Amino acid sequence: MTHRFIPNTDADRAAMLKTIGVASVQDLFRDVPASAQLTKINLPRALSEMELLNELNAMATRNANLNEHACFLGAGAYNHFVPATVPHLIFRSEFYTAYTPYQAEISQGTLQTIFEYQSLICNLTGMDAANASHYDGATATAEAAILAVNAVPGRDKIIVAPTLHPEYRATLRTYLEGQDVEIVGDEDLKLPLDAILKKHLDDKVAGVIVQNPDFLGAYHDLKSTADRVH
């Protein structure tokens, strides 16, 4: 008997067993104690895809979901609203591809999209510039720190809030390992940001890195912090 996903025929299996020197597949497990062998798995009948989805959805309703509850788990585990147009657009072949279009004439559409995205982020945040060409937040954080250090000669210290994602902090230190840059602020994870700024903020600071909402799930009003830093 053949199977579409297991191409071995009965004759193939018989030949393999003969070569190994056993009479059946079960003989391969004869050295396993009988008490450790699973002779029968008590599974229900196989379900169709629709039946399985209905059963899983029924089980999921027993959980507290993000549509009805606020989530403060942190680490990015909170409700993300994604407009319906986003998955439709990103799965288009112009974006969803393993090929990097280095040719300028092919990249024009992507570059236009990045420009519009960056412009929108600047409008939303009130920042003068935004970058949309990094793959992840950790890399973007490290690159931003390097930009801040290089922007003003003589400023070689970066203050990092302890509530920044630990992977971001690790990536930041990896990026700056070979550079003469001091990273401070996250030595004591219980120290509040105000106390950190009071301790470390001086004319050697090139930038202050905070996350909002932070890794612990808390949202902060950073206006006073921004005024103090700038």
- For the chain, report the end-to-end CA distance as a whole number of angstroms: 75
For residues 209 and 159, the answer to whether their CB atoms sit within 8 Å is yes
Most confident of 45-59, 79-93, 211-225: 45-59
**At 55, is the pLDDT very low, low, confident or very high (cuts 50, 70, 90)?**
very high
Closest CA to 180 of 202, 157, 203: 157
Q: What average pLDDT does range 103-127 have in this prediction?
A: 82
Strand, helix or coil at 135? coil
CA atoms of 221 and 80, how far apart (whole Å): 20
pLDDT at 6 over 80: no
Q: What is the pLDDT of residue 103?
A: 66
Q: pLDDT > 90: what percent of the chain?
A: 45
On the CB side of 102, CA atoms within 13 Å amount to: 0
At position 69, the amino acid (one-letter code) is H
Q: 0.85 exceeded by the pTM?
A: no
Cα-based distances in Å from 218 to 61, 81, 87: 26, 18, 28
Q: Are 131 and 140 in contact (CB under 8 A)?
A: yes
Q: What is the mean pLDDT of residues 30-57?
A: 89
For 62-88, the pLDDT digits (tens) are 988 877 888 777 787 777 788 999 899
Q: Where do the domains of the chain lie, and which CATH numbers do they carry?
A: 75-133 (no CATH), 137-229 (3.40.640.10)
